[in-house]
Amino acid sequence: MGTVYRALDSVLERTVAIKMLNRGLPDAELPEIQARFVREAKSAGRLNHPNIVTIYDVGMVGEVAYIAMEYLEGQSLQQLMKSRAALPFEKVADIVAQVAEGLDYAGRFGIVHRDIKPANIMVSPAGLATITDFGVARLPSSSMTDAGTLLGSPKYVAPEQVREEPVDPRADIFSLGVVLYEMLVGKTPFEEPGLDVLSLLDRIVEQPVAPVTRQRPEIPAALDAILERALAKDPAQRFQRAGELARRLRQLSLPAGSAPLDFDAEPSGEIPDAQASLSKLLADLAAFSRREPSLEAANELSMRLRKAFHYLEELVRRVIHANPPFTVKLDVIYLGALPAADMSNGHVACATRKVGDAEVVDCVKLTYRMKSSRKARIVLNRSKAGVLKRHLDLAKIKFDSREVTDDAGAVRLEAFLIEVDLAASATLRGNYERQTVEIACENVGVLGPANYRLDAADVDDAIWEFGQLLFGQPSRFAGLRLPAAVE
């Protein structure tokens, strides 16, 4: 469908990948396919997620449609699976969970990949999984070659794609479930030797999936239930968001005792002793509603905080512990920004407490360190120097300063030499009475303290923007900052 070339962006001096749509498509359909190729690639270009390839440019050169995208080091999952023995379960769960998190993000924008398969998943030497080929995947599913093969990979399509029904992000969940099964067993769940395409598609629509533990008894038994749900024929019976699949896999692969809360915990349905009087029951419920938020609301906010915890865990694992390290800049008054500093020593902790009978997440705390061998230098007048000193002292940044005199010996300026070696932290605390999350930051995105407040319903969306804030990039999260007078 497309040919990929490695190229050099001469303006930004970076290596990129250029994908060009092949001309070997039917002439009658080529204009429509090219237009959709460009249109859908532009849609995918809105996505900014560590598990989705970054698209830089898309367009037409003459009659050739192209996409310029991030060049990815490593190999495809397909190559990885062919080059070595069966991957350990923990590695499989991590790769699939990463892909699911990328798909969950894409689904927030209503974008469906439609061609999730091992060849469209790149895995870096450090283990980062990246989804590719969003543009090509959106080509019309009704287009078929003379051999009757679906445009894409028939082994991984969802039943609703076979039935030519409308698809939504749940179709990608099915395809990813097929990939997960293949990584564990060595073949997709519906294929058999000598099976033709039409028979394969019939099996995808009708045949149930055998439990994977029959062939891999050492795998946790709970994985069978996860796969059964991911591969449900009816989209309504599947995980409704890919993030749910990611959470289940991460929970399954966590060491014992490291996940005290169930991701999908439901409010307790226990009913008081039937012999208790109705009047006492109503009185207890009324008193509880005045003292505590509803248990359902508490669990919902707790789940959102737990998701934020795992998001920050991944941020630490993939970004702050990366080698070579990522760098970040902090905005500083008068300076503009400190020199780019390497990020290190990242850690995320999660604390719980009781709300009524429920154990909920109390707070999530992220800490890391930023250090640069370069020092910042600036010369300011006396009044501005005093303001900068207060900011630096507040952030606990070391600096040297000296007075600068003019020819007459009068002190008019002050020169600064500022070290870049400081700690940063962000604490997300759940307010279960107000159903909000209070976020207290120190040296995150900007120098010094900054406070934010989110409604519970906004946490899922806003937490994705937090990473942009951390790196000092434009982010709507920054607009949530509380005024200084409130801090």
Active-site pick, 115, 133, 172, 460: 115
Give dist(CA 49, CA 134) in Å, integer: 13
Supply φ then ψ for residue 267, to 5 degrees.
-60, 145
Across 175-193, b (16+ Cβ under 10 Å) vs e yields bbbbbbbbbbbeebbbbee
Token couple for 163: 């039935």
The SS3 of residue 295 is helix
Give dist(CA 323, CA 51) in Å, integer: 17
Q: How is residue 209 annotated by DSSP? A: P
How far is C-alpha 75 from the geometric centre of its chain's CA atoms? Answer: 21
Which residue in 253, 332, 319, 297 sits closest to 432, CA to CA?
Answer: 297
Give dist(CA 169, CA 403) in Å, integer: 62
Helices (H), 186-230: 197-206, 222-230
Edge-to-edge order in the sheet of strand 55-61: 2-9, 14-21, 64-70, 55-61
Known active-site residue 115: yes
Q: Where are the beta strands (DSSP E) in 118-257?
A: 121-123, 129-131
- Tokens 């406070």: give the residue: 451
Give dist(CA 443, CA 343) in Å, integer: 12
CB 356 within 8 A of CB 300: no
Give dist(CA 464, CA 461) in Å, integer: 6
DSSP-derived secondary structure for 313-359: HHHIIIIIT-SSPPEE--EETTTEEPPPEEEEEEEEEEEEEEETTEE
Supply φ then ψ for residue 140, to 5 degrees.
-60, 125
The SS3 of residue 279 is helix
Phi-psi label, residue 472: left if phi above 0, alpha if psi -120 to 50, beta otherwise: left
Token couple for 15: 């290596």
- Which residues are designated catalytic? 115
